Amino acid sequence: MRISESIRADVLAAVGLPDDLSGVASAQEQARRRDPAFREKVLLAYQYRCSVCGHDLRLGRQTIGLEAAHIKWFQAQGPDIVPNGIALCSLHHKVFDLGAFAILPGSYQMVFSQHLNGGDDAAGRMLAYHGASLILPQSREYLPQADFLEWHRKQVFKSPERPVC
Ligand SMILES: [Zn+2]
């Protein structure tokens, strides 16, 4: 089973294995070159805040809990380019990689899965973004590319989606 990087780290931690073991998961993945600047480029494009909730906590210059997420996973040959990335806080990164919400190309509206449930506190806070637009990057050239969004919606998102009023 293929899993995203954010989830893989959790799985490894849960079974007591170190994170760096994930590096030996696939020789093919190892062979592909990663852009070490991907994270920084994506965070800059989104002005160092989560594109869902606006989370932008910092300690000095150090961001806390802010990540550059791949829309089309690196493991699925998603490239390390800004239009395949969005800045997300750790929670929204997990939720996105698990397929709890998708982003519609064109409107950049977030739609949540009918499978996402919970009490008022947890689910309510998450579902407050249902139908809302992503906080967009500072330049059009950084906008999420439609084919990557469609890949995520088809391959990762847990359909059916909740209706947007
Ligand atoms: Zn967030």
Read out DSSP for 101-149?
EEE-TTT-BEEEBTT----TTHHHHHHTTTTPBP---SSGGGSPPHHHH
How far, in Å, from the CA of 95 to the mean position of ligand 1?
Answer: 10
Mean pLDDT confidence for 107-121 = 94
Hey, is 98 helix, strand or coil? coil
How far, in Å, from the CA of 46 to the mean position of ligand 1?
Answer: 12
pLDDT in tens, 8-63: 777 666 766 655 554 455 556 556 788 999 999 999 999 999 999 999 999 999 99
**Alpha carbons 9 and 110: distance in angstroms, whole number:** 25
Which residues have C-beta within 8 Å of that of residue 164, sequence separation ≥ 6? 109, 111, 130, 131
**Alpha carbons 110 and 164: distance in angstroms, whole number:** 9
Kindly list the protein residues that place their beta carbon closer than 5 angstroms to ligand 1, a single-atom ion.
50, 52-53, 55, 89, 92
**Alpha carbons 16 and 75: distance in angstroms, whole number:** 23
Least confident window among 9-13, 73-77, 155-159? 9-13
**3: its two tokens:** 């899993």
pLDDT above 70 coverage of the chain, percent:
86
How far, in Å, from the CA of 92 to the mean position of ligand 1?
Answer: 5
- Checking if the pLDDT of 104 tops 90, the result is yes
Contact call for residues 86 and 136 (beta carbons, < 8 A): no
Its pTM stands at 0.83
Q: Which helix (H) or strand (E) holds 44?
A: helix 38-45
How far, in Å, from the CA of 47 to the mean position of ligand 1?
Answer: 13
**Alpha carbons 61 and 125: distance in angstroms, whole number:** 28
How far, in Å, from the CA of 64 to the mean position of ligand 1?
Answer: 12
How far, in Å, from the CA of 122 to the mean position of ligand 1?
Answer: 13
